[in-house]
Amino acid sequence: MPTVNLFSALLGLVLFLMAFFALRACARELTAIRKHLDKLAPEALANLKTARRAKPDEDAPKESYAADPERWLASRRAEKPSV
């Protein structure tokens, strides 16, 4: 049984190290994103913050592609460049 305990301990150590390095990579990415956002102009950053908090207008018409599938196809074609 000591072999099973050793295997379990090694597996736990490997999983712990993988989680640690994954969290470190996420923190590094978040730091890079924060540095990039800090470089934005103050008015652009303010627009970004207010756009995220803004609620959609109640009176604005809701876009629905269900009523017009051709419009949906046209929008999809516009997104993809033709090869």
What tens digit of pLDDT does each residue of 16-65 get? 999 999 999 999 999 998 888 878 777 777 777 776 665 655 555 556 66
With respect to residue 45, please indicate whether it lies within any of the assigned structural domains: yes
Q: Domain range for residue 18? A: 1-55
The first and second tokens of residue 23, run together, are: 């969290």
With respect to residue 78, please indicate whether it lies within any of the assigned structural domains: no
Domain total for the chain? 1
The first and second tokens of residue 72, run together, are: 């949906």
With respect to residue 29, please indicate whether it lies within any of the assigned structural domains: yes
With respect to residue 65, please indicate whether it lies within any of the assigned structural domains: no
pLDDT at 69 (0 to 100): 73
With respect to residue 69, please indicate whether it lies within any of the assigned structural domains: no
